[in-house]
C-alpha cells in the first residue's frame, strides 16, 4: 500500500508553475485519486473494526478538507498566483450542508461555498473554475455556489434551503475575516429576527419529506437519510436548536435546556447508529444509496455483526435495532417540539384531527386531581403525578380517549421518563387493566390512542409480550410494517368497520359486526393475534398461550378468554382456506365448519381476517379476496345450519340445472338438454353459479361460428380481478400452455377452475389480478393475454420460448430464500388429491409446475394461487387419468420429486416463518 499523501502529490508537481490548466489536471488528478481511494479504503477498514459511524463520517470529512485545500494550493501556486491580492481578490472556501457539519458518507455530495467580499473578479472566477474541474475529474459530486456576503444574506433571507445551508457553514481556508463577517451578519440580520419562521418552515419541510419517503417510520425498506426517524430528522432537530438557541455543537443543546443529559445521550446514540448504517450502506453498494432495501439488509446485518438468536434471524435483529432507533428519534422530535412551544418559538399546533371532535379551553377540569386541560390538550399538574399514582400512566391515555383530546408533549415526555414505574404491581392492578380495556375497545379511535401509548413506551411496558414485538420486522416482501405497527393498524381497521366507514368495501363484515356478542374478545384477539411473532414456536399457538395468560389480567371471563385464544390460534385459517382451497368442494366447507363450529366464531373470524389482511400494507387487500371470504362465510353459514352442503349429489345437480334453465329462457328445452348433457356431474357441483349462464352463452356462440379454440374476458373492478374463459380441445398440457401464455403476456393468475365436457372440450376459467385502474386499460391488457392464449393453443407460438423471455436472470437478487415444500393430501377433498406447493415466486413458476403435472399425466380440476410477497403457495386439485386420487405412495413420491425439481437452483436456506 502506498504511503503517499496529498502533500506528497503536490510536491511531485515541483515548484515551477505549470501555467496550463489541462497539464495541471493531467499530472494532479491521478495522484489525488490514488490517495483519495486509499483513504476511503482505510476508513472502511476502521468502520468494520470499530463500528463507529460518526468516527467514519468525520474521518471522510477531514480527508475531504485536506483534498480541497490541496487542490486550492495547486491551483493558486501553478495557475493563478496572488502574492499581493487586492481587496477584490479575497476568497474564503467554506463547507456547507452536511459537509459543513463535518460529516460525510462515502457517497455524499461535497457542498462548497466560494465566499467573496463583493462581486466576482477574473482571478476568483478562474480559481473557482479550475478547482471545480479537478473535483469533477475526481468523479466527486460537488454542490457549489459562488456568492458575495451580500448575496448570501439576500438569498438566505429569501430561500429557506440556502438559509439552512449557511447555518451549517464551516470555514475551511482562505480569508477567515471574510467568513467571520458573513457569520456575524447572518446571525444578526437573519437568525436573530426569524426563529419562529425558521422552526415552522423546518417542521413543515420535515412533514413533506416524510410523506414522500413513507409516512410510517416502520416501513420495512426505510430510507436512512430522509425517512421518518432517519438522519434528516436528527439534522432538523439540531438546525432548530442551532437557530433558536445559537449553539454551535449538539452537546450545547443540554446547556440550552432543550435536552436533559440523558436525552442528549440518546441523541448521540441515534446519530452514531444511523451514520454507521449509512456509511456501511454506501460502502457496500459503492454509491449514495439511502434506502435499506431487502437485499442490502442482509449485507448490512452481516457487516454490523448481527447474528440470529431466539427465533429471529440476523437481518430481523438488525432491523429491529434500526426501528428502535427510528422510534427514539421520533421521541426526541416530540421533546423538542414541546420545549419550543413552551418557549413560544413555535406556533401552537392544530389538534389531532382524528380525536378533535370538540375543543376545551385552557384550564378545564378533568376527573381526578393530577390532570388538567392545557391549550386543549391533557397535561399533568405535577412532575410527581405518575409517582403518586402509577395508574395515572394508563389513566392519561384513557382520558385522552374519553374526552377526545390530544396529549400535551410534556405529559408524554414525563410518561416516557416514568416507564420504570410500570412493573408487576401496575400490570396486575385491576383499575389499570380496566382502563386499558376501555381504551382498547373504545368506539372513538383506539388505534390513535394505542399508538401514542406505544410511542411513549407505555404499551410495551404494560404488556411485556407486546414490548417484545415493538420495532420487529419480518424479513419478507409481504409485510409492509413492523409487527407492532401491523397490530395497531389491525385495530384501526376493526374500528372503521364497526363505525360503518367501510360498508361499501366490506358489506358482509359491516352487516355482521353489529351482531357480534363477544366484542371485547374480538378487540383483544386483534391486538394479540401476532404477539408471538419472532419466537421459535408457531406464533399462532404461542399467541393463544399468551392470550390465556393476559385474559384474566384484562378482566375477561373464562368464555371470553377461550374465544380470544381460539381466534389467535386459528387467525390464519379463514384466509388460507378462502385463498388456497376449492370452495365449491363440500369437503372444504365441512372441514372448515368442523373447526369453526359456531356462527359467533365465524363472525369473529371474518372480521379478524379482514383486519389482518388489510393491515399488512397498501394494495394487499383486494376485492377478489373479499369475494372469496364472503363465499366461504356464506357456504359455512349454510353448513352450520345443516343446509345445502349435506344435500345428495343428484339433488344438488338437479337444483343447479334448474337454476341455469331459468336464466336461459330463450333456449328450447331440446337445446338446453343437449347442452346440459355435455357437462359432467363435477361441473354442476363445482362451477360457480354466477358463471354457468355465461359459460352456456359462450359455448353456444363458439359452436355457431365453428370455433374450437376461443376465449372471452371481462373485468370486475370491485373484486379487483379479470376473468378469462377458455374453450379448447382438452389435453393434459392445456393448463400449462394457458399459464405460460399468461406469464408471457404479463397476466398474474390468482385462481383457475378447469372442466372437461363429455365431448372432450376443456372449459377453463382463469382469474387474473387487475393491473390497471381504468376498465378500458385493463380490458386492452386482457385482450392481449387472451390473444396470447389462443395463439399458443393453436400452435402458432412456442410457449416455452415465450416464458423463457420472462424468466429472471441467473444473477438475480438472493435477498430472499424460501425452502420449497410439496404436500400431498387425500383427506381435503372427496374426489381429488390436493397438492400444495410453496416456494420462491418468480415469473414462469406456475407454468413450470403445471408443465410438470401435465408430464405426470395428472388432470388438474382446479388451481388456487396465493402469493405472500416473495413466497408463492400454489394448490392443485388433481386426479389420475382414470379419474381417481393419487393414492399409491410410490406415485406420490414421483409427483413430489418432479415438483421439487422445479425449484432446483433456488437457495435452500430457511425462510422466514410462514403465515400472515
Per-residue pLDDT reduced to its tens digit, 423-454: 999 999 999 999 999 999 999 989 999 999 99
Say how far apart CA 147 and CA 120 lie, in whole Å. 8
Band of pLDDT at residue 806, cut at 50, 70 and 90: low
Residue 594 has pLDDT above 80, yes or no: yes
Q: pLDDT at position 830, please?
A: 87
**How far is residue 810's CA from residue 799's CA, in Å, rounded to a whole number?**
20
Task: Give me the mean pLDDT over the 472-489 stretch.
Answer: 78
pLDDT of residue 656: 87
Whether the per-residue pLDDT at 84 is higher than 80: the answer is no
pLDDT at 813: 45
The average pLDDT across 71-81 equals 90
pLDDT tier for residue 915 given thresholds of 50, 70 and 90: very low
Range 772-787 average pLDDT: 89
pLDDT digits (tens, 9 = 90+) for 206-240: 777 766 655 555 567 888 998 888 998 898 888 88
- CA distances from residue 450 to 399, 440, 622 in whole angstroms, order as listed: 13, 7, 27
Each residue's pLDDT tens digit, 792-803: 888 888 777 777
**695 is written with which cell numbers?**
359459460
First to last CA, the chain: 52
Residues with Cβ within 8 Å of residue 239, at least 6 apart in sequence: 164, 167, 168, 198, 202
Better-predicted residue by pLDDT, 142 or 865: 142
Q: What is the mean pLDDT of residues 886-914?
A: 76
For residue 345, the model assigns a pLDDT of 52
Model-level pTM? 0.76
Q: Which residues, 6 or more positions from 26, have their beta carbon under 8 angstroms from its beta carbon?
A: none
d(CA 218, CA 228): 8
Cβ-based neighbours of 275, under 8 Å, separated by 6 or more = 53, 54, 56, 57, 103, 105, 231
* DSSP reduced 3-state for 111: strand
Cβ 400 vs Cβ 356: under 8 Å? no
Across 533-547, 609-623, 626-640, 805-819, the highest mean pLDDT is recorded for: 533-547
Predicted confidence band at 357 (pLDDT cuts at 50, 70, 90)? very low
Nearest to 327 by CA among 185, 222, 192: 222
Strand partners, 249: none
Distances (CA, A) of 145 to 74, 87, 127, 310: 21, 20, 13, 53
Q: What is the pLDDT of residue 367?
A: 63
User: CA 487, CA 469: separation in Å to the nearest integer?
Assistant: 10
- Residue 40 pLDDT > 90, yes or no? yes
d(CA 752, CA 765): 6
Predicted pLDDT at 251: 86
d(CA 443, CA 495): 7
402: confidence class by pLDDT, cuts 50, 70, 90: very high
Q: What is the pLDDT of residues 231-249, one digit of tens each?
A: 988 988 888 888 888 888 8
Torsion of CA 289, 291, 292, 296, to 10 degrees: -40
Q: Tell me: the pLDDT tens digits for 505-518?
A: 899 999 999 999 99
The DSSP bridge pattern shows strands 406-407 and 377-380 to be: parallel
Q: What is the arithmetic mean of pLDDT over 394-413?
A: 92
pLDDT given for residue 352 in this prediction? 37
Mean of pLDDT over the chain? 87
Nearest to 408 by CA among 319, 503, 338, 328: 338
Categorise residue 665: left if φ over 0, alpha if ψ from -120 to 50, beta otherwise.
Answer: alpha
Q: Which residues of 6-45 are buried (b: 16+ CB within 10 A; e: fewer)?
A: beebbeebeeeebeebeebbebbbebbeebbebbbeebbe
What φ, ψ does residue 764 adopt, rounded to 5°?
-115, 140
How far apart are the C-alpha atoms of 191 and 188, rounded to whole Å?
Answer: 6
pLDDT of res. 419: 95
Task: Answer whether residue 353 shows pLDDT above 50.
Answer: no
Write down the pLDDT at residue 218. 56
| pLDDT at residue 347 in the model | 47
Distance between CA 807 and CA 802 in Å, rounded?
A: 9
% of the chain beyond a pLDDT of 70:
90
pLDDT at 907 over 70: no
Per-residue pLDDT tens over the stretch 650-706? 787 888 899 999 999 999 999 999 999 999 887 887 777 788 999 999 999 999 999
Residue 800, judged by CB atoms within 10 A of its CB (0-12, 13-18, 19+), counts as middle
Give the side-chain half-sphere CA count within 13 A for 498.
23
- The yes-or-no verdict on residue 557 having pLDDT over 50 is yes
Helix axes 483-498, 599-614, angle to 10 degrees: 120
How many angstroms separate the Cα of 796 from the Cα of each of 320, 707, 789, 870?
Answer: 53, 16, 10, 33
CA atoms within 13 A on the CB side of 218: 26
Express each pLDDT in 1-38 by its tens digit: 355 788 888 888 887 877 788 999 999 999 999 999 99
pLDDT tens by residue, 118-149: 878 888 899 999 999 999 999 999 999 999 99
Amino acid at each position: 500500500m502506498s504511503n503517499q499523501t496529498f502533500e506528497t502529490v503536490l510536491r511531485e508537481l515541483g515548484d515551477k508553475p505549470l501555467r496550463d490548466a489541462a497539464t495541471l489536471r493531467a499530472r494532479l488528478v491521478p495522484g489525488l485519486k490514488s490517495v483519495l481511494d486509499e483513504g476511503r479504503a482505510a476508513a472502511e477498514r476502521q468502520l468494520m473494526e470499530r463500528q463507529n459511524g460518526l468516527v467514519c463520517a468525520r474521518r471522510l470529512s477531514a480527508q475531504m478538507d485536506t483534498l480541497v485545500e490541496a487542490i486550492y494550493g495547486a491551483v493558486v501556486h501553478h495557475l493563478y498566483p496572488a502574492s499581493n491580492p487586492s481587496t477584490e481578490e479575497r476568497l474564503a472556501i467554506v463547507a456547507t450542508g452536511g459537509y459543513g457539519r463535518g460529516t460525510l458518507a462515502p457517497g455524499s455530495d461535497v457542498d462548497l461555498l466560494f465566499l467573496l467580499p463583493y462581486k466576482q473578479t477574473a482571478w476568483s472566477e478562474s480559481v473557482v473554475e479550475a478547482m471545480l474541474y479537478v473535483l469533477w475529474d475526481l468523479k466527486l459530486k460537488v454542490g457549489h455556489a459562488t456568492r458575495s456576503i451580500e448575496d448570501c444574506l439576500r438569498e438566505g433571507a429569501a430561500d429557506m434551503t440556502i438559509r439552512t445551508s449557511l447555518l451549517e457553514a464551516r470555514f475551511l481556508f482562505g480569508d477567515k475575516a471574510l467568513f467571520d463577517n458573513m457569520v456575524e451578519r447572518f446571525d444578526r440580520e437573519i437568525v436573530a429576527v426569524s426563529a419562529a419562521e425558521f422552526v415552522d418552515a423546518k417542521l413543515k419541510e420535515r412533514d413533506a419529506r416524510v410523506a414522500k419517503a413513507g409516512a410510517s417510520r416502520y416501513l420495512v425498506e426505510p430510507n436512512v437519510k430522509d425517512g421518518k426517524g432517519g438522519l434528516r430528522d436528527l439534522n432538523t432537530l439540531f438546525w432548530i436548536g442551532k437557530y433558536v438557541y445559537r449553539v454551535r455543537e449538539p452537546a450545547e443543546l443540554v446547556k440550552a435546556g432543550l435536552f436533559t443529559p440523558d436525552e442528549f445521550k440518546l441523541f448521540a446514540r441515534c446519530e452514531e447508529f444511523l451514520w454507521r448504517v449509512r456509511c456501511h450502506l454506501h460502502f457496500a453498494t459503492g454509491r449514495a444509496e439511502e434506502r435499506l432495501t431487502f437485499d442490502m439488509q442482509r449485507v448490512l446485518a452481516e457487516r454490523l455483526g448481527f447474528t440470529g438468536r431466539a427465533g429471529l434471524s440476523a437481518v430481523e435483529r438488525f432491523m429491529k435495532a434500526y426501528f428502535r432507533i427510528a422510534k427514539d428519534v421520533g421521541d426526541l422530535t416530540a421533546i423538542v417540539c414541546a420545549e419550543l412551544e413552551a418557549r413560544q418559538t413555535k406556533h401552537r399546533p392544530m389538534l389531532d384531527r382524528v380525536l378533535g371532535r370538540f375543543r376545551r379551553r385552557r384550564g378545564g377540569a378533568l376527573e381526578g386531581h393530577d390532570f388538567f386541560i392545557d391549550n386543549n390538550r391533557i397535561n399533568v399538574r405535577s412532575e410527581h403525578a405518575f409517582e403518586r399514582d402509577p395508574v395515572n400512566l394508563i389513566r392519561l391515555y384513557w382520558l385522552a380517549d374519553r374526552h377526545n383530546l390530544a396529549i400535551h408533549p410534556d405529559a408524554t415526555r414525563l410518561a416516557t421518563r416514568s416507564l420504570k414505574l410500570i412493573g408487576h404491581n401496575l400490570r396486575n392492578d385491576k383499575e389499570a387493566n380496566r382502563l386499558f380495556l376501555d381504551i382498547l375497545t373504545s368506539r372513538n379511535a383506539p388505534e390513535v390512542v394505542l399508538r401514542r401509548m406505544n410511542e411513549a413506551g407505555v404499551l410495551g411496558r404494560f404488556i411485556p409480550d407486546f414490548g417484545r414485538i415493538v420495532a420487529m420486522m419480518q424479513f419478507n416482501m409481504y409485510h409492509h410494517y413492523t409487527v407492532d405497527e401491523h397490530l395497531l393498524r389491525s385495530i384501526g381497521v376493526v374500528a372503521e368497520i364497526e363505525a360503518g366507514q367501510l360498508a361499501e368495501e366490506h358489506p358482509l363484515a359491516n352487516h355482521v359486526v353489529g351482531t357480534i356478542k363477544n366484542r371485547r374478545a374480538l378487540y383483544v384477539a386483534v391486538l394479540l393475534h401476532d404477539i408471538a411473532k419472532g419466537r421459535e414456536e408457531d406464533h399462532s399457538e404461542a399467541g393463544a398461550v399468551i392470550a390465556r395468560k393476559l385474559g384474566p389480567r384484562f378482566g375477561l371471563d373464562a368464555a371470553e378468554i377461550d374465544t380470544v385464544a381460539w381466534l389467535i390460534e386459528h387467525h390464519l385459517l379463514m384466509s388460507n382456506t378462502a385463498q388456497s382451497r376449492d370452495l365449491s368442494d363440500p369437503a372444504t366447507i365441512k372441514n372448515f365448519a368442523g373447526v369453526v363450529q359456531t356462527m359467533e366464531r365465524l363472525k369473529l373470524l371474518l372480521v379478524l381476517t379482514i383486519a389482518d389482511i388489510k393491515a399488512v400494507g397498501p394494495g394487499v387487500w383486494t376485492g377478489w379476496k373479499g369475494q372469496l371470504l364472503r363465499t366461504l362465510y356464506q357456504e359455512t353459514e349454510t353448513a352450520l345450519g345443516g343446509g345445502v352442503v349435506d344435500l345428495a349429489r343428484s339433488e344438488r345437480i338437479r337444483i343447479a340445472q334448474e337454476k341455469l334453465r331459468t336464466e336461459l329462457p330463450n333456449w328450447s328445452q331440446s337445446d338446453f338438454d343437449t347442452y346440459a348433457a355435455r357437462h359432467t356431474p363435477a361441473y354442476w357441483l363445482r362451477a360457480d353459479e354466477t358463471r354457468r349462464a355465461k359459460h352456456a352463452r359462450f359455448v353456444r356462440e363458439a359452436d355457431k361460428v365453428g370455433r374450437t379454440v376461443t376465449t372471452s374476458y371481462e373485468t370486475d373492478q370491485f373484486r379487483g380481478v379479470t376473468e378469462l374463459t377458455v374453450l379448447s380441445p382438452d389435453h393434459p398440457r392445456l393448463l400449462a400452455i394457458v399459464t405460460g401464455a399468461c406469464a408471457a403476456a404479463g397476466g398474474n393468475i390468482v385462481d383457475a377452475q378447469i372442466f372437461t365436457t363429455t365431448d372432450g372440450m376443456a372449459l377453463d376459467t382463469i382469474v387474473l389480478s387487475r393491473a390497471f385502474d381504468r376498465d378500458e386499460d385493463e380490458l386492452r391488457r386482457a385482450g392481449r393475454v387472451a390473444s396470447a392464449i389462443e395463439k399458443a393453443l393453436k400452435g402458432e407460438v412456442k410457449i416455452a420460448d415465450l416464458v423463457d423471455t420472462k424468466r429472471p436472470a441467473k444473477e438475480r437478487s438472493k435477498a430472499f430464500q424460501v425452502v420449497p415444500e410439496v404436500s400431498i393430501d387425500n383427506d381435503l377433498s372427496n374426489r381429488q388429491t390436493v397438492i400444495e406447493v410453496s416456494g420462491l415466486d418468480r415469473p414462469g413458476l406456475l407454468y413450470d409446475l403445471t408443465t410438470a403435472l401435465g408430464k405426470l399425466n395428472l388432470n388438474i380440476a382446479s388451481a388456487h394461487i396465493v402469493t405472500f410477497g416473495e413466497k408463492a403457495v400454489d394448490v392443485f386439485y388433481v386426479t389420475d387419468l382414470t379419474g381417481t386420487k393419487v393414492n399409491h405412495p410410490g406415485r406420490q413420491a414421483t409427483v413430489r420429486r418432479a415438483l421439487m425439481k422445479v425449484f432446483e437452483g433456488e437457495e435452500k436456506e430457511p425462510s422466514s416463518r410462514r403465515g400472515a
